[in-house]
Amino acid sequence: MLGTPQNKTAHTSANEASFLSNELAFLLNASPQTVVDWLQSAHQRFEHEIIPKIEQDFLSLIRLLPNTPSLPVIFNLFLKFQMEMKLHMEIEEQKIYPAFLSESNSGANPEVNELLHSHEGSEPFLEEIILLIERSNFSENPFCQVLLSRLKRFEQDLRDHAWVEDYVLLLPH
C-alpha cells in the first residue's frame, strides 16, 4: 500500500487516533460502505484533480526552465508514478474493495488481507520524486516551490489513504 505505516497493528485505539483528522477518525466507526465510498472518492480526487494539477505544474516549470535537463527526467518519473498509481487504484477498486464489502457482509475472510499484502510491491514512490526536486539546482525557484508544496500535500493525502486501508479495512466490522 502507498505509504504503509511501519508499525502495523490490526486495531487503532481512541488514543492512537487522537492525532487523526476528524474525517479519518470518523472512518474508524463508519460502515464498510462508507469507508469504501471515502476511498473511492479519494481515488477520483487523485486522478481527476490532484495529479492533473501536478502535471500542469511540471509542464509550466519545464517551459519556464528549458535548459534544465533533469526536470523532464523527473517529470517522466512522475508520469511513471502516475501510471503505477492508476493500476494500483484499479486493483483496489476491482478486487480489494469488493472483497472487503463481501467480507464485512459474510464474516471473516482472509481474502482482503491477502489482497492488501499482494499489491504492496506495486507501490509508487512519490517521496523520491520530491527528494530529487529538492536536491536540484532549480528547487529555490518560486514555481518549483509551488510544485513541491503540491507534491508534499499529495504525499500526505496518500499516507492518509494508506492509513485507512491498513487500519480501517483490517478492523473487524
Q: Is 138 domain-assigned?
A: yes
Q: Is 79 domain-assigned?
A: yes
Q: What is the pLDDT of residue 123?
A: 54
Q: Is 173 domain-assigned?
A: no
> Confidence band (pLDDT; 50, 70, 90) for 107?
low
Cα first-last separation, the chain:
21
Q: Is 7 domain-assigned?
A: no
Whether the pLDDT of residue 45 is over 90: the answer is yes
Q: Is 10 domain-assigned?
A: no
Q: What is the pLDDT of residue 71?
A: 97
Q: Is 98 domain-assigned?
A: yes
Q: Is 1 domain-assigned?
A: no
Q: Alpha helices, DSSP H only, in 29-96? A: 32-45, 51-64, 70-91
Q: Is 126 domain-assigned?
A: yes
- Total domain count, the chain: 1
CA 59 – CA 144 distance, rounded (Å): 11
Per the listing, cell 477520483 goes with: 44
**Structural domain range at position 23:** 16-168
